[in-house]
Chain A
Amino acid sequence: MLSGLLGLEAFFPNGVSHYAIGGLLVGLGTAVIYYGTGIPAGASTFLESTLSYVSDRDRFQQYRASRDWRVVFTVGIVLGAAVYAVLFQGGAWTTEVAPWRLFVGGTLVGVGTRVGKGCTSGHGICGVGSVSRTSIVGVATFMLVAIVTANIVAALGVTP
């Protein structure tokens, strides 16, 4: 209704309530862990810390102390989304985005998040929430580059 008054529905064709409620819950999950443990948890360090189970390299072994709880955190994310799917989605949902895009994009995300010290949750939720200048610059950087990339890909007619 508010967006209708402001003439914003063109930008929010699916409304804003589920986005806002989902976002508040993402923040609440972060807050629960922070309150209990003092840890501002991000999702991307799981990638490196989990590699410590299979690689002896120092680069990955430095995350040994946190690797088990990061697995638990990630399992929680998967299960929490599964609860959503069972209660609200009415079964499994699969993407139409091509496997090569997922794989190549995923690889770049894997490199970028580790080189850039964070991801959409580490920088975007925890870092911005902490008013960290590094994180705000990180978010602005990947947001801008992602917008340019997605528009180029769309302009090239790559669908889905």
Chain B
Amino acid sequence: MSANTGRHPLFLPVILVGGLIFGFGLGFSQMARPEVVLNFLTFEDLGLLFVMGGGSVVAGLAFWLVPHLRDGAPLTGRSYKRRLKSFDRRVLVGGSIFGVGWGLAGICPGAAYASLGVGNWPILYAIAGMFLGAYVQGVWRSHRADDSASPTPSDD
């Protein structure tokens, strides 16, 4: 049931349903609106704390509870593991670049996709920018030998 030898027929449907709930939540929370994010960052409306807080609490509860219920995921056989990424300078450098972009535009990846769903077609400028940025950093990093030694593909 691994990714390469054929998946469980419900794998993609479950991903889709999860994405639907995720996107509906982003729409309902108003986080898909850049103005709401910018109002949060300038302390005019701190409601977004409840979006990230609520989301991480529910996700955290699942990450803690589910491994107690089952040994492995029913659709992939994967063992339930925590999402732990190694810490290095890139987390600070990348986080800072992300922060400048988030503070300037009021958008982040998930909220940008959801923004398209609420009919916000100008968000395509931001999505085009995100792909450009992801491409530029990928090309730049593939020229650096030290990075190719430690690729971090995940969640396959």
Are B105 and A102 within 8 A (Cβ)? yes
Question: Nearest Cβ distance between residue A40 and chain B, in whole angstroms?
Answer: 4
B55-93 residues at the A interface, CB under 8 angstroms: 55-63, 66, 72-76, 78-87, 90-93
Complex interface: chain B residues within 8 A of A121 (CB): 22, 55, 108-110
Are A77 and B110 within 8 A (Cβ)? yes
Are A29 and B79 within 8 A (Cβ)? no
Which residue on B lies nearest to A115, using beta carbons?
B94
A113 to B75, CA, bound (A): 28
Question: Nearest Cβ distance between residue B21 and chain A, in whole angstroms?
Answer: 4
Question: Nearest Cβ distance between residue A90 and chain B, in whole angstroms?
Answer: 10
Complex interface: chain A residues within 8 A of B145 (CB): none
Which residue on A lies nearest to B51, using beta carbons?
A23
Q: What 1/0 mask marks residues of chain B from 11 to 36 whose CB sits below 8 Å from any chain A CB?
A: 11011111111111111111111110
Are B12 and A69 within 8 A (Cβ)? yes
Residue from A46, A82, A128, A129 whose CB has the most chain B CB atoms within 10 Å? A129
Q: Taking the complex as formed, is B6 at the interface, i.e. its CB lies under 8 A from any CB of chain A? A: no
A28 to B29, CA, bound (A): 13
Asked if A69 meets B15 with Cβ closer than 8 Å, knowing A39-B78, A55-B135, A81-B114, the reply is yes
Q: Taking the complex as formed, is B9 at the interface, i.e. its CB lies under 8 A from any CB of chain A? A: no
Are A79 and B152 within 8 A (Cβ)? no
A33-87 residues at the B interface, CB under 8 angstroms: 33-48, 50-51, 55, 57-60, 62-63, 65-66, 68-69, 72-85
Residue from B15, B47, B55, B126 whose CB has the most chain A CB atoms within 10 Å? B55
Residue from A21, A74, A133 whose CB has the most chain B CB atoms within 10 Å? A74
Number of interface residues of B (CB under 8 A): 125
A12 to B78, CA, bound (A): 41
Q: What 1/0 mask marks residues of chain A from 125 to 143 whose CB sits below 8 Å from any chain B CB?
A: 1111111111101110111
Question: Nearest Cβ distance between residue B144 and chain A, in whole angstroms?
Answer: 10
Are B120 and A146 within 8 A (Cβ)? no
Are B113 and A93 within 8 A (Cβ)? no
A113 to B111, CA, bound (A): 14
Complex interface: chain B residues within 8 A of A14 (CB): 30, 45, 47
Complex interface: chain A residues within 8 A of B51 (CB): 19-20, 22-23, 26
Question: Nearest Cβ distance between residue A25 and chain B, in whole angstroms?
Answer: 3
Complex interface: chain B residues within 8 A of A118 (CB): 85
Are B20 and A146 within 8 A (Cβ)? no
A126 to B152, CA, bound (A): 16
Complex interface: chain B residues within 8 A of A68 (CB): 12
From A13, A36, A149, A150, give the contact of B14 (CB < 8 A).
A36
Asked if A141 meets B95 with Cβ closer than 8 Å, knowing A22-B30, A29-B25, A60-B138, the reply is yes
With A23-B51, A112-B97 known, 5 other A-B pairs at CB within 8 A are A31-B59, A35-B66, A101-B105, A102-B129, A129-B56
A-B contact pairs, 8 of them (CB 8 A): A18-B30, A73-B16, A81-B114, A93-B118, A94-B119, A94-B121, A116-B98, A139-B95
